[in-house]
Amino acid sequence: MSTFWRTLAQPASFLRIVREYFAAGGRWRGGKRLADRDALQRFIDSRANFVAQMSLYGYLRTRAGMRYPELFSNDEFVKAVDTAKWQMWLACLSDLSVYAGGLLERRTRSDPARIGTLMTATLEAILAASEGKHDAARVERVRARLTLCDWTAVPDDGTPFSESPRVLMECAPIIDELKQLDEEIVRNSVRFRWQQVRRELRRALDADALMASEASSA
């Protein structure tokens, strides 16, 4: 079992992780701007990772209740959770990359092709730096979504965050009958988690500086 999932089996440790996340988020709120590709990459990766793991963990723990720690003694369950974790992470990367690219286009009115190149390069850098066991088909789905995205049509609302709620319901290791009962609530809970991320990105993104940085490094 990974260190992360051993930690999440303990409620006190989970609360510590949540506090550390919001402390990290405070650095963005404290004035550090997203003004180059590296900063944007770190933001997208960290927020996608947080939403993916907290959404999956929260759903599993709610459904398992007091039996949650016991489940992690089952090797098959641990394997299923690990697979779901990486699939959910890819879905979150997809959603946040589309939203960030749309925000960049809206604020700078840059050539959509430049936005697409930037967001694709950012995605590839995140994938290359990760040590996950990625499903090749899902990776290609994310790439195709960015390639085909109409950046001028991405709204500044929750619409771009469509993959992560769907993938959580598809991949969480919970029986289908329970998923059907839970679907609306779980999908809404994932969408809710993105609201703070959207606010952070709106505050921190220095779109003009970021696109200027891309132009100077080209």
pLDDT digits (tens, 9 = 90+) for 136-147: 999 999 999 999
What pLDDT is stored for residue 135 in this prediction? 85
What pLDDT is stored for residue 210 in this prediction? 97
Q: What is the dihedral of CA 125, 8, 141, 157, to 10 degrees?
A: -90
What pLDDT is stored for residue 10 in this prediction? 45
Element (H, E) at 51: helix 37-64
What pLDDT is stored for residue 97 in this prediction? 98
What pLDDT is stored for residue 31 in this prediction? 53
- How far out from the chain centre does Cα 24 lie? 16
> For the chain, what are the domain ranges?
3-23+34-217
pTM metric for this prediction: 0.85
Q: What letter does residue 66 receive in the DSSP assignment? A: G
Q: What is the dihedral of CA 201, 206, 209, 215, to 10 degrees?
A: 30
On the CB side of 34, CA atoms within 13 Å amount to: 21
Which positions of the chain have pLDDT values less than 70? 1-31, 66, 68, 132, 218
CB proximity list for 194: less than 8 A, separation 6 or greater: 51, 95, 96, 158, 161, 164
